[in-house]
Chains A and B, each alone.
Chain A
Amino acid sequence: MLKKYAKKYAKLIVGQLFFASIWVFAQLLIPRLMVDIIDSGIMIKDMGAIVSHGLAMLLATVLNIVSLMISLLFLTRVTAGISRDLRSDLFGKVIGWSKETRTGFSNSTLITRTVNDVKQVSNLIDLSLRKIFTLTVTVIGSLAISFSLDAKLASIILIIIPVIFFVGLLLTTRALPQYARIRKSIDRINQLFRENIRGIRVIRAFNKSDYEKREFEKATEDAYEANVRSESTMMLLSPLILLFTNILISLILLTGGGRAQIGTIKLGVLVGLIEYATISLSNIQQFASIITIIPRSKVSIDRISEVLSTEEILKIKEDGSESYEEGISFKNVEFCYPGYRRAALKNISFSLIKGETKAIIGSTGSGKSTVIKLLLREYDACQGQIYLNGRDIQSLSNEEISQTVTIVPQTGFLFSGSIRENIQTGKKDASDEEIWEVLDMVRMGDFFRESPEGLDTHIAQNAVNFSGGQKQRISIARGLIRESDFYVFDDCFSALDYSTEKKVREAIKEKLADRGVLVVAQRVATVRDADEILVLENGEIIDRGSHKELAENSEIYKEILASQLKSEEGEIR
């Protein structure tokens, strides 16, 4: 997957690798120059050679730093660039998904994937380009120079490198499963702690402090064990490599020393070889610590790919059937949530034309909201058809649906920003005048008129500075400012007190007199004025009619009525 993203930055990557190579070259040149300082300077007492080689070393140092900085300039653009592209593709993909496509992706995991996983992948790219590449080149370079200096001694280094490499690999692969375990146990610890805070009253009410303590200790014990196990393996690595390095140096010294007597080796070469041996081994050590990061990045890559490879399931059909009826019409619709055994809706048929108001009432879980989800094509019905102004909903684009139907959802979700911006999500170019008009309809006009910032009043994230009822009212206003044939109010009066609800409903009735209105509710008071009320029970319309008819003939409706005290919603406020 990353290849595709890297392609765009091929030039930058090539540049980065080029300058990183120069950087390594300069880095390796310095000990090589030291060899010359010793052998053709110090040993033959030639000060001029020392100074000239010293200056060359200084030059190499500057070259080293400059090429490093240039390579980083390229690198940071690549990593930040790929992060940006990934993020952009992720939100580009997710925004606009239907709920059916979203099944299995919670909001929190989608956010984590767009933010944290991208960060993790960018770390991986950074490591691959910056570290893994340079480490490899450095090891190879050191070996090459060593061989050019003295092939026999260099072969000692060559023999010991694979040994260390495999020891490192062995230790790392042994520690890796423990790392996964650590992450899991830390997640569990945090989750238990978070839940303990949230559920503190419930835990105390049911005397479950000891139980929580036991669960928590299990998790901390697990984290302890995994940490100690992985670390005592990994802690072996660096002392071990240090030991190998030291032994390698001694071997070079002793073998080289034997030849000093015969005069076949120069001292500078010996010193240089020690230097290159040290460099190679410490690089291999760094390799080992990097490897531990790769599996974590792999998980992130997989999680991102999963989102990017998920295509919208609900395609727009070219050849949808047509109906001559106007308005919204459901024809024998049956629906089952993905993965669920029971049908959520069975044999749903109804229609709604402009100028009409219809309502759906029913218990928790009766399927009211599901009807709305199908109407907005969040899911496709398993059987039956839904028509919007005569066209099969499956042949309409999201834009066409949204232009025909305005939904006011249950939750009263608001964006952070000003109240003006929030209302304008309903109508992009709405004037202040229009905004005040809809705010007045939901009885929020005075509230904002009294606020010193007026329409610029800030709404915080999650609208924490507004009550549930206020949020619902603003959300209704945002719906009312839209222009469409049909309006759906999905249980969005639930947090309003009775008298406010009544006023808001009256305002809506007046404003939308010539439109089609569908109201979903639990309260009888909310639906009683509708032209037709559909009573939903276990996913089926069991009764339908006006309030008066249902109050006489429908058992369920009568029960609902009775539970809400005579004909009125009874609430003590």
Chain B
Amino acid sequence: MNKEPVNKEDKQEEGLPGVSRGVGGAGRVSGLLTSGSTKNAKGTLFRLLKNLASFKWLFIAAILLTLAASVVQILIPRKIGEIINIFTEVLTDNIALDWAVLWKISVTLLILYIINFFSNYISNTLMVKVSQSVIRSLRNQMQVKLNALTLNYFDRSSAGDMTSLLSNDLDNVANTLQSGLTSSLSALVLLIGVVIMMIIINPILALLSMIVIPISYFMVKFLIKKAKPIFQKNAKLTGVFNGKIEEAYTGEDIVKHYNIGEDLKSELSSLNQDLYDSEWKSTLVSFVTRPAGDLILNSNYVLLAIWGGRYVINGILTLGGFQAFLQYTHMLRGPFNQVLEIFNTIMSALASAERVFDFLDSEEIAESGDDTMDAAAVKGEIEFDKVNFGYTENLLFNGVDLKVKPGEQVAIVGRTGAGKTTLVNLLMRFYEISGGKIYIDGKDAKEYKTEELRKAYSMVLQDTWLFSGSIRDNIAFGADISDEENLSDVDFERIKEAAVLARADSFIESLPQGYDTVLAEGASNLSRGEIQLLTIVRAMIKKAPIIILDEATSSVDTRTEVLIQQGLKQLAANSTGFIIAHRLSTIKDADRIIVMDSGTIVEVGTHRELLDKNSYYAEMYFAGQA
């Protein structure tokens, strides 16, 4: 969080082309410090350009206009020099001012100004459109990708890393596309153009002004190398401090009631003091590199003024040429500083783009059949036929067979890792089986389109995810809606009815805004039990022939659970049910209990039967009773 030691404000300034003179002295070195590594820069660049394809002409127009603006900008000082020369002649040789020539030059200048203005403005706006369109499209692609990825991908990757792709990497690409690309291009053109003009005016002076470039470059490089450990230290301290703050705030119960607030404050204060120390040092260092480079450029400017002045006196150079030359020296400074940063900026953007593309290339869910399903007509007969499956290469399921009759209530029990959740994951086709078949009403589930298949199921998942939005919308999330409908189109009566059935109505109504209460992200304003109740309501609103409950009531107290189950029973009267639970109260009424251990079904029967068998289930049962 916020570990970047430099702020972004200078980026904005750099992005603005134009006169780069004045108070821009205290620049910073963000681009130079944050370069990334790229495996395949060329390929990534090519792919990024491919994303630009639909805006090809806009893009090319923007580039051409940028070039035009830069060329014009180079011509302007030259023309002004011509005017100065006319004045010099008037003053020194006492000849009459030739207004006709002066007007001609002025009109040319005005035309150049106008060309410069429009080409700058139009190219800027075109680039904004192009880059924003590309970013919008990349963002949308990423989101679509999210819902096309296999669940294995989510098992492997952290949510923070994925979000960072969207918020940091894509942002980086956007900024570079929008301002970096054109401004670096114009900087490059300016640099080359200015050098050519300087050589035309006076090659010796031009050579003299080039000498400082490598000196200044190496000096800045050197300073940055020296500065790096200071930045790293600051980033590290910032991280430590932020972590401590987070703990101090989240651990409020302990902090307050164990009366360690004062100790903690003094610990934080000393960290804060260290942070202060590293913060001002790193800010100072980030400020200092640019003026150090400026010192060299400025000294050079003075040198040129003296040297050039001598040339004018000796008649080698006109005064207009002298003035133009100094103007060009100014113009050199801005692009020069920019070119220093360009390489790193582009490389870091490419590294970001590559990470985004890697994500977009990740493995997607396998193709499925395209049969549709009439959920209302499904009877709910399920059959597993020699099903093989593993999360990794090692198979967890090896030829699992299971047959469930329509309307049957099946409980699945077993130790952690036995494969209970896996069984329902496969039913929902969250993961693809690697062998065997799963049949619904005798038909191979693979023949259905995945979305169609899921219409047959209503599920309460182990993870109690709710989104930030109203309670009402969160419940409506369970209902089937068409592409044109919104969550708010779901009838309130249906929502209320489901909530009453799941015993959630009374707690919802006691909230300040009732059903319109807006949940914070992560539903932090509700208790765990309340969150779980809502997930049950959400599943209840979807009337499906097969119901899956995966630890649906684990956070609800046992008495409320009994009440919820009465509601569920009402709902599931004609449905097939799969119930995963570890509380006996939840399972003992099931028609059949399936006992699993390390991916295999070890026992099947009713509670009584299994106890009488006095084997695996009985053992677990009595262990639980202790």
Which A residues touch B83, using CB under 8 A?
253, 257
> Are A72 and B26 in contact (CB-based, < 8 A)?
yes
> Are A88 and B461 in contact (CB-based, < 8 A)?
no
Q: Report Cα–Cα, A134/B26, bound state, in Å.
A: 11
Which B residues touch A209, using CB under 8 A?
147, 451
Q: How far is the CB of A12 from chain B (nearest CB, A)?
A: 11
Q: Report Cα–Cα, A223/B375, bound state, in Å.
A: 39
Q: Report Cα–Cα, A362/B355, bound state, in Å.
A: 51
Q: Report Cα–Cα, A249/B105, bound state, in Å.
A: 13
> Are B309 and A341 in contact (CB-based, < 8 A)?
no
> Are A571 and B256 in contact (CB-based, < 8 A)?
no
Across the interface, name the chain B residue whose C-beta is closest to A523. B558
14 A–B contacts from the bound complex (CB under 8 Å): A42-B312, A72-B284, A97-B256, A107-B249, A205-B461, A207-B451, A207-B454, A238-B17, A260-B90, A267-B84, A267-B87, A289-B13, A413-B250, A572-B620
Once A195-B521, A411-B253, A573-B624 are accepted as A-B contacts, the answer to whether A228 and B128 lie under 8 Å apart by CB is: yes
Q: How far is the CB of A478 from chain B (nearest CB, A)?
A: 8
Which B residues touch A556, using CB under 8 A?
559
Q: Report Cα–Cα, A361/B622, bound state, in Å.
A: 25
> Are A267 and B319 in contact (CB-based, < 8 A)?
yes
Q: How far is the CB of A360 from chain B (nearest CB, A)?
A: 13
B2 within 8 A of partner (CB):
yes
Once A54-B309, A235-B121 are accepted as A-B contacts, the answer to whether A34 and B326 lie under 8 Å apart by CB is: yes
Interface residues of A in 53-106 (CB under 8 A from B): 54, 57-58, 61-62, 64-65, 68-69, 72-73, 76-77, 79-81, 83-84, 87-88, 91-92, 94-99, 102, 106
> Are B461 and A190 in contact (CB-based, < 8 A)?
no
Which B residues touch A57, using CB under 8 A?
302, 305
Across the interface, name the chain B residue whose C-beta is closest to A116. B2
Interface residues of A in 165-204 (CB under 8 A from B): 186, 189-204
Q: How far is the CB of A4 from chain B (nearest CB, A)?
A: 18
Once A239-B121, A257-B97 are accepted as A-B contacts, the answer to whether A560 and B558 lie under 8 Å apart by CB is: yes
Of the candidate stretches A148-156, A509-517, A545-553, A561-569, the one touching chain B is A561-569
Which A residues touch B299, using CB under 8 A?
58, 61
Which B residues touch A342, using CB under 8 A?
510
Q: Report Cα–Cα, A254/B79, bound state, in Å.
A: 13
> Are A281 and B294 in contact (CB-based, < 8 A)?
no
Once A80-B280, A84-B273, A242-B18 are accepted as A-B contacts, the answer to whether A363 and B557 lie under 8 Å apart by CB is: yes
> Are A409 and B254 in contact (CB-based, < 8 A)?
yes
Once A65-B291, A84-B275, A193-B166 are accepted as A-B contacts, the answer to whether A239 and B254 lie under 8 Å apart by CB is: no
> Are B109 and A246 in contact (CB-based, < 8 A)?
yes
Q: Report Cα–Cα, A60/B61, bound state, in Å.
A: 44
Interface residues of B in 252-273 (CB under 8 A from A): 252-261, 263-265, 268-269, 272-273
Which B residues touch A227, using CB under 8 A?
128, 132
**What number of B residues sit within 8 Å (CB to CB) of A?**
172
A324 within 8 A of partner (CB):
no
Which A residues touch B468, using CB under 8 A?
191, 195
B57 within 8 A of partner (CB):
no
Q: Report Cα–Cα, A245/B59, bound state, in Å.
A: 28
> Are A339 and B527 in contact (CB-based, < 8 A)?
no
Partner of B319 from the list A42, A236, A376, A498 (CB cut-off 8 Å) is A42
Partner of B12 from the list A84, A232, A289, A426 (CB cut-off 8 Å) is A289
A321 within 8 A of partner (CB):
no
Which B residues touch A102, using CB under 8 A?
252
Partner of B562 from the list A42, A131, A237, A559 (CB cut-off 8 Å) is A559
Across the interface, name the chain B residue whose C-beta is closest to A376. B257
Partner of A83 from the list B258, B276, B312 (CB cut-off 8 Å) is B276
Of the candidate stretches B135-143, B203-211, B339-347, B571-579, the one touching chain A is B135-143
> Are A134 and B87 in contact (CB-based, < 8 A)?
no
Which A residues touch B144, using CB under 8 A?
213
Across the interface, name the chain B residue whose C-beta is closest to A52. B306
> Are B84 and A402 in contact (CB-based, < 8 A)?
no
Partner of A364 from the list B17, B301, B529 (CB cut-off 8 Å) is B529
B217 within 8 A of partner (CB):
no
Known: A111-B246, A207-B480. 12 other contacts (CB 8 A): A54-B306, A65-B298, A79-B280, A97-B252, A203-B147, A208-B477, A212-B147, A213-B140, A258-B97, A364-B557, A413-B254, A573-B415
Partner of B454 from the list A106, A204, A572 (CB cut-off 8 Å) is A204
Partner of A135 from the list B23, B142, B256, B451 (CB cut-off 8 Å) is B23
A302 within 8 A of partner (CB):
no
Q: Report Cα–Cα, A194/B467, bound state, in Å.
A: 10
> Are B626 and A51 in contact (CB-based, < 8 A)?
no
Which A residues touch B284, using CB under 8 A?
72-73, 76
Which B residues touch A399, using CB under 8 A?
259
Once A76-B283, A191-B521, A197-B154 are accepted as A-B contacts, the answer to whether A45 and B313 lie under 8 Å apart by CB is: yes
A247 within 8 A of partner (CB):
yes
> Are A206 and B478 in contact (CB-based, < 8 A)?
yes
Once A96-B255, A111-B245, A134-B23 are accepted as A-B contacts, the answer to whether A565 and B584 lie under 8 Å apart by CB is: yes
Which B residues touch A194, using CB under 8 A?
159, 163, 521
Q: Report Cα–Cα, A119/B251, bound state, in Å.
A: 24
> Are B117 and A240 in contact (CB-based, < 8 A)?
yes
Closest 10 A/B residue pairs (Cβ): A364-B529, A570-B584, A80-B280, A563-B558, A239-B120, A54-B306, A235-B124, A199-B465, A209-B147, A402-B259
Which A residues touch B54, using CB under 8 A?
none
> Are B258 and A231 in contact (CB-based, < 8 A)?
no
Q: Report Cα–Cα, A278/B461, bound state, in Å.
A: 66
A285 within 8 A of partner (CB):
yes
Q: Report Cα–Cα, A568/B622, bound state, in Å.
A: 11
Which A residues touch B558, using CB under 8 A?
522, 560, 563-564
Of the candidate stretches A214-222, A385-393, A432-440, A444-452, the one touching chain B is A214-222
Q: Report Cα–Cα, A109/B166, bound state, in Å.
A: 22
Q: Report Cα–Cα, A127/B1, bound state, in Å.
A: 22
Chain A binding surface SS class = helix
Interface residues of B in 308-334 (CB under 8 A from A): 309-310, 312-313, 319, 322-323, 326
Which B residues touch A211, using CB under 8 A?
481, 487
Which B residues touch A425, using CB under 8 A?
254, 258, 260
> Are B322 and A106 in contact (CB-based, < 8 A)?
no
> Are B459 and A572 in contact (CB-based, < 8 A)?
no
Q: Report Cα–Cα, A415/B267, bound state, in Å.
A: 13
Once A116-B1, A207-B451 are accepted as A-B contacts, the answer to whether A239 and B22 lie under 8 Å apart by CB is: no
> Are B163 and A193 in contact (CB-based, < 8 A)?
yes
Q: Report Cα–Cα, A288/B223, bound state, in Å.
A: 31
B428 within 8 A of partner (CB):
yes
Once A196-B143, A342-B510 are accepted as A-B contacts, the answer to whether A114 and B84 lie under 8 Å apart by CB is: no
Across the interface, name the chain B residue whose C-beta is closest to A283. B22
Which B residues touch A11, using CB under 8 A?
none
Q: Report Cα–Cα, A126/B7, bound state, in Å.
A: 11
Tell me which of B83, B116, B305 has the highest count of chain A C-beta atoms within 10 A of its own C-beta: B305
Partner of B166 from the list A43, A189, A278 (CB cut-off 8 Å) is A189
Interface residues of B in 91-121 (CB under 8 A from A): 91-92, 96-97, 102, 106, 109-110, 113-114, 116-118, 120-121
A328 within 8 A of partner (CB):
no
> Are B9 and A286 in contact (CB-based, < 8 A)?
no
Across the interface, name the chain A residue whose C-beta is closest to B292. A65
Partner of B80 from the list A249, A261, A340 (CB cut-off 8 Å) is A249
B397 within 8 A of partner (CB):
no
Which A residues touch B243, using CB under 8 A?
416, 461
Across the interface, name the chain A residue whose C-beta is closest to B114. A243
Across the interface, name the chain A residue whose C-beta is closest to B103. A254
Which A residues touch B36, using CB under 8 A?
none
B212 within 8 A of partner (CB):
no
